[in-house]
Amino acid sequence: METKQFLPLPHSPAYHILLKAGPRLKPLQQVHAHIIVLGFGHSRSLLTKLLNLACAAGSITYTRQIFLSVTKPDAFLFNSLIKSTSKFHNFSIYSIYFYGCMLLSKILPSNYTFTSVVKSCADLSSLKLGKVIHGHVFLNGFGLDVHVQSALVAFYAKSGDLGNARKVFDKMPERSVVAWNSMISGYEQNGFGKEATLLFEKMREVGVKPDSTTFVSLLSACAQLGALCLGCWVHKYIIEHSLDLNVVLGTSLINMYTRCGDVRKAREVFDSINEKNVFSWTAMISGYGTNGYGREAVELFDEMRRKGPSPNRITFVAVLTACAHAGLVKEGRLVFAIMREKYLLVPGVEHYVCLVDMLGRAGLLDDAYNFINEEIPKEPAAAIWTAMLGACKMHKNFDLGVKVAEHLVAVEPDNPGHYVMLSNIYALAGRMDRVEIVRNIMIRKRLKKQVGYSTIEVDRRTYLFSMGDKSHPETNEIYRYLDELMSQCRELGYATVSESVMHELEEEEKEFALRYHSEKLAVAFGLLKMSNDEVPIRIVKNLRMCEDCHWAIKYISIVANREIVVRDKLRFHHFKDGLCSCQDYW
């Protein structure tokens, strides 16, 4: 019996039977029984292989049952089991469990152990537990192990603790492309696109060769920042180095181009992807919609239904949003019906928001309000009331707007944006007594409106402006040039839309507050610095563009004879020759 147990594993008949069974539960259980009959029931090498396959088969109960039958499991078995369970997100907690069993068995963990355990902490989003494991790493002398450090960088970045992620990253004696990718991805996924691009530049300086994973994160950062120049450089690099334009990388390129306002290039990439999945189709449909090409979005959706994969819930959000922003009410109603009746998808909050938004923008306020009260099964979410309120404001139905705004504040009483909207709608309805009450509530609750800012990329460097910003070294020149622009705009007929600012200000104060909004400063800076008239000025704003800026930039596009593209919180605005792609419908 003993000789059988210690047969070299690759030559063992039982080993080959295990391989044939593969990660399938019933065949594995049959092979397990056969192994016991053959007398190999206590062979650690065979049990280790069996444990790995049982885990891959998706049965943690059977895996644990086999583990408990092993007398005195060794380090190899523990490490194999911890690694196997860490590979599957649903089993991450068991990776920690087996690590605990390993410690109780007084078996010392290795760098392989910690790499897997730290990954499991990341999958569990358990920052507290991960920090405890980080302490164990130091106590066991693996603080400078490259693989463990890479895992720690990925863990902290995924957990949103970018400070600790960067500390570990900076202390690494050697940084693999995996470590660089983890840090870049961490910045991008946590909204620090600028830091992601700067770290990529540093990665290039030290001579680390980027891979497809690097570019997926970098393109997402470019999309976040509106950094078209850097995004184009990435695309060129991919072509010149013959990197595989797989569906993930291709979809990232589509997303980057559409979010930077270059829909034509996005479509070129879309057409060049050989095997498109639902995400690439959805990215292109969404790109059309947010850039004001509603009909093209609907046409591509119809094509997807004919010869592409089945649309998912996100696809329907994309096409409904496109319909809402293009005034395609008939098409939007049909899409909503198709979603429910043909694809049997139950509408979520996001789909209801799109339909209410579509009806409201089209001026069908009664239809939208009745839909909220009659068709939505649960208490309407804040986003639904927000869409309805926007429509009331757009069509100047302030009485209904007051009612909707009050619903909104009741649903989310601690959102400062809702109080700002309620205050504005009260003011527009002439109920200034209520404006004062709302402002006092905000003061008492210590609620502050989100600060707006705009960014612009010039020579692959991103500049940020806020309202009345004077931090730029060329502030005087920017302000002087903007004043000249606005003077020329007024000669053409531009007049301040004073409803865009607080109603208690005097008219002169309103005009001053509006003149130096962040997007106007960014546009002026772009026109000063970008002399090539054929290159559009591209601005990214974190909030919704105000009505006055929208009106003013239409005039600036005439005065400067320049195309200006502004991406705000909701959509793109392509200004050219005094017109906007949204047709003043946003």
Span 516-558, pLDDT tens digits: 899 999 999 999 999 888 889 999 998 888 888 999 999 999 9
Clarify whether residues 479 and 572 are in a common domain: yes
What letter represents residue 235's amino acid?
H
Clarify whether residues 360 and 429 are in a common domain: yes
Confidence (pLDDT) at 41: 60
Backbone torsions φ then ψ of 337, nearest 5 degrees: -70, -40
- Assess if residue 373 is contained within a domain: yes
- 3-state helix, strand, coil split of the chain in percent (to 5) is 65, 5, 30
Q: Tell me the C-alpha distance between 93 and 82, whole Å.
A: 10
CB atoms within 10 A of CB 459: 7
- Assess if residue 73 is contained within a domain: no
Out of 423, 449, 475, pick the residue that ends a domain. Answer: 449
- Assess if residue 355 is contained within a domain: yes
Confidence (pLDDT) at 37: 64
Q: Tell me the C-alpha distance between 158 and 127, whole Å.
A: 9
- Assess if residue 378 is contained within a domain: yes
- Assess if residue 409 is contained within a domain: yes
* Sequence-distant (≥ 6) Cβ neighbours of residue 337 within 8 angstroms: none
Mean pLDDT within 407-413: 85
Asked whether the predicted pLDDT for residue 10 surpasses 60, the reply is no
What letter represents residue 550's amino acid?
H
Out of 449, 467, 498, pick the residue that ends a domain. Answer: 449
Name the residue among 71, 121, 79 with its Cα closest to residue 103. 79
**Do the beta carbons of residue 72 and residue 106 sit within 8 Å?**
no
Instruction: Mark out the alpha helices in 530-576 (DSSP H runs).
Output: 547-559
- Assess if residue 228 is contained within a domain: no
Clarify whether residues 458 and 566 are in a common domain: yes
H or E element that contains 567:
strand 564-567
Q: Tell me the C-alpha distance between 109 and 75, whole Å.
A: 8
Clarify whether residues 400 and 426 are in a common domain: yes
Clarify whether residues 439 and 459 are in a common domain: no
Residue 23 burial by CB count (10 A; 0-12/13-18/19+): exposed, middle or buried? middle
Name the CA dihedral angle for 117, 122, 124, 127, rounded to a multiple of 10 degrees: 100
User: What b/e readout covers 188-224, taking b as 16+ CB neighbours within 10 angstroms?
Assistant: bbbebbbbbbebbeebeeeebebeebbbbbbbbbbbb
Clarify whether residues 445 and 459 are in a common domain: no
Out of 414, 433, 449, pick the residue that ends a domain. Answer: 449
Q: How many Å separate Cα 100 from the centre of its chain?
A: 35
Clarify whether residues 466 and 571 are in a common domain: yes
Confidence (pLDDT) at 248: 94
**Residue 575 bridge partners (DSSP):** 564, 580
Clarify whether residues 532 and 416 are in a common domain: no
Q: What is the largest CA-CA distance in the chain?
A: 100
Q: Which domain holds residue 440?
A: 347-449
* CA angle (525 as vertex; 522, 526 as ends), nearest 5: 85
Clarify whether residues 525 and 416 are in a common domain: no
- Tally of domains in the chain: 2
Edge-to-edge strands of the sheet including 453-458? 461-466, 453-458, 537-541, 564-567, 572-576, 579-580
What letter represents residue 24's amino acid?
R
Confidence (pLDDT) at 503: 45
More confident residue, 148 or 515: 148
- Assess if residue 115 is contained within a domain: no
Confidence (pLDDT) at 81: 84
Lowest-pLDDT range of 249-253, 334-338, 465-469, 490-494: 465-469
C-alpha torsion sign, points 172, 178, 181, 183 = negative
Percent of the chain with pLDDT over 70: 90
Clarify whether residues 503 and 411 are in a common domain: no
Confidence (pLDDT) at 471: 86
Asked whether the predicted pLDDT for residue 3 surpasses 50, the reply is no
Clarify whether residues 496 and 552 are in a common domain: yes
Confidence (pLDDT) at 506: 42
Clarify whether residues 381 and 413 are in a common domain: yes
**Tens of pLDDT along 136-155?**
999 999 988 999 999 999 99
Name the residue among 417, 414, 437, 411 with its Cα closest to residue 426. 437
**Do the beta carbons of residue 46 and residue 9 sit within 8 Å?**
yes
- Assess if residue 87 is contained within a domain: no
Q: Using pLDDT thresholds of 50, 70 and 90, give the confidence band for residue 499.
A: low
**Do the beta carbons of residue 202 and residue 224 sit within 8 Å?**
no
C-alpha torsion sign, points 321, 500, 193, 116 = negative
Question: Can you give the length of the chain in residues?
Answer: 586
CATH of the domain at 357: 1.25.40.10
* CA angle (547 as vertex; 546, 549 as ends), nearest 5: 70
**Do the beta carbons of residue 482 and residue 516 sit within 8 Å?**
yes
Long-range contacts of 362-370 (CB under 8 A, 24+ apart): 362/327, 362/329, 363/391, 363/395, 364/329, 365/391, 365/392, 365/395, 365/397, 365/400, 369/400, 369/404
Confidence (pLDDT) at 9: 47
**Do the beta carbons of residue 521 and residue 478 sit within 8 Å?**
yes
SS3 23: coil
CB atoms within 10 A of CB 431: 15
Helices and strands, counts by H and E, the chain:
31, 6
Average pLDDT, the chain: 87
